Amino acid sequence: MNAKSKEMNFEKALSELEQIVNKLEKGGLTLNESLALFEKGVKLARYLRAELDKAEKKVEILLKDEKGELKTQDFDLEKLDEIEAEEEAGEEPEKEKNE
C-alpha cells in the first residue's frame, strides 16, 4: 500500500474496507478470494488506525498547553515518537524550548 497510500485517504480506505467486509459477510467466495480480501482488509484497517492515531496526536498537541490555552504547533512524527517513548518509560516529556 506504500505507492497507493499517497493516493489513499481516510474516506476512500474506510469505504473500501466496508466493501470488503460486505463481500466477506455475503459469502460465496473461494478460500483464496476470502484470504486475499481479508489480507487487504487488514492492511486497510492498519492504515486507518494509523491515520486515526495521527489525528488523535494532532488534537492532543492542540489541547496541551501549560497555560491552559489552545495553541497549534507543527506535527513532528519523530518528536512524537520521542514523547511516546518517554511516557512509556514513565518519564515526563521534555517541554519545547522555543515556547
Q: Which residue has the higher pLDDT, 41 or 74?
A: 41
- Burial grade of 88 (CB within 10 A; 0-12, 13-18, 19 or more): exposed
b or e along 37-73 (b: 16 or more beta carbons within 10 Å of the residue's beta carbon)? beeebeebeebbeebeeeeeeeeebeeeeeeeeeeee
User: Could you tell me the pTM of the whole model?
Assistant: 0.58
| Average pLDDT of span 2-23 | 83
The ranges assigned to domains in the chain are 2-88
